[in-house]
Copies of this chain bind each other. A is one copy, B any other.
């Protein structure tokens, strides 16, 4: 059963295709179509359940009302929650989201950009990784709205929304030190993205500022794509072989692995051992004792992202790039 086209409607209403198109697009008044015709056509559209073919529309107009969202991994709760918020807000403005996960692979990221390009998405919301600078530049050169979130690429001049990773990390360490901790470890990943580097820098700077010597043996860089069991082994080794009284985990999934280690080796969180996790997770609130965490302001991030991108989409003017850095919140639990 073929679906209806604008032509079918035009024939039924005994008017031209043009007229129907004007009516559909709310230009009837402006194009001086009579009230009678408008009503007739609208009635027919209503009754027949006709919906314009978006593909044809996109081809003609050059825009798709689709926003491409490129993230690391939709199954990570940080991203899935952001995605949900963005989807929600975009939806209300008539935009759909089409998303894909890069799994931190440069090749996949490039492929995704190409794919979105050939689908003519109207805008790109990207949590970027190093290595795709050229591709992003091409997008920008072609006049596509592009916004980064969570992470930034320093060489690229485009809008960005993210948490203040440096300060969040700095304050976490301050908090440890305030509790009298001296041997503070950092468990982070080896992916070379700005937000991870900033968390590292904040860690280092806080130590320095407090006169504690930075010891690279207390920093564990986990390889991004490795199996969790391996991560667990490495964290276990760290905890068993080094004298450590506090650990900052640079991502929530690393903290989850860390908690598994603690359970396994039966090490308790308490007065003589503390941890803080970056990015909240339901497991942290429920844990006994509660796990302190750096909470990123998801709602605010999503809101700013969508606000900036919609503004760029509506005003054809060349976009002034905005950099929005939102403070993260340290939640102390116990």
- Taking a contact as CB atoms under 8 Å apart, the answer to whether A74 and B51 are in contact is no
**A118→B287 contact, CB < 8 A:** no
Give me 15 other A-B pairs in contact (C-beta within 8 A), A56-B59, A74-B84, A283-B283 excluded.
A1-B141, A3-B117, A3-B142, A51-B118, A55-B58, A59-B59, A74-B80, A74-B83, A97-B100, A98-B98, A256-B286, A260-B286, A263-B286, A287-B287, A288-B288
Q: Does A303 contact B (CB under 8 A)?
A: no
- Report the bound CA distance from A288 to B55 in whole Å: 53
Contact A259 B281 (CB under 8 A): no
A157 at the interface (CB under 8 A from B): no
- Tell whether A107 is near chain B: CB-to-CB under 8 Å: no
Instruction: State the CA gap A260–B287 with chains docked (Å).
Output: 10
Known contacts A55-B59, A74-B74, A77-B75; decide if A142 and B1 are in contact (CB<8 Å): yes
Which chain B positions have C-beta within 8 A of A224? none
CA distance A80 to B81 in the complex (A): 9
A18 within 8 A of B: no
Give the distance in Å from the alpha carbon of A234 to the alpha carbon of B3 in the complex. 48
In residues 118-148 of chain A, which contact B (Cβ within 8 Å)?
A: 118-120, 141-143
Which residues of A come within 8 Å of B, CB atoms? Answer: 1, 3, 51-56, 58-59, 64, 66, 73-75, 77, 80-81, 83-84, 87-88, 91, 96-101, 114-115, 117-120, 141-143, 256, 259-260, 263, 281-283, 285-288
Q: Which residues of B contact A56 (CB under 8 A)?
A: 59
Copies of the protein in its oligomer: 2
30 contacts between A and B (CB under 8 A): A3-B142, A51-B117, A51-B118, A53-B118, A53-B120, A55-B55, A55-B58, A55-B64, A55-B119, A56-B59, A73-B84, A75-B77, A75-B80, A75-B83, A75-B84, A77-B77, A80-B80, A87-B101, A97-B99, A97-B100, A98-B98, A99-B99, A259-B286, A263-B286, A281-B282, A282-B282, A283-B283, A283-B287, A286-B287, A287-B288
Taking a contact as CB atoms under 8 Å apart, the answer to whether A74 and B54 are in contact is no
A96 touches B96 (CB 8 A): no
- CB neighbours of A114 from chain B (8 A): 51
Residues from chain B with a CB closer than 8 A to the CB of A143 are 1
Residue of B nearest to A283 (CB): B283
* Nearest CB of chain B from residue A87's CB, rounded to whole Å: 6
Chain B contacts for A100, CB-based, 8 A: 87, 91, 96-97
Bound-state Cα–Cα, A62 to B233, Å: 52
The smallest C-beta distance from A323 to any residue of chain B, in angstroms, reads: 26
Chain B residue numbers with a CB within 8 Å of A64 are 55
Whether the pair A115, B96 counts as a contact (CB closer than 8 A) is yes
The residue in A54, A77, A260 that gathers the most chain B C-beta atoms within 10 A of its C-beta is A54
A108 to B, closest residue via Cβ: B91
Which residues of B are found within 8 Å of A75, using beta-carbon distances? 77, 80-81, 83-84
Cα–Cα, bound, A74→B81 (Å): 7
Residues of B within 8 A of A3 (CB): 117, 142
Q: Give CA–CA (A99, B142) in the complex, Å.
A: 27
A80-B75, A84-B75 known; A260-B281 Cβ under 8 A: no
Which B residues touch A283, using CB under 8 A? 281-283, 286-287
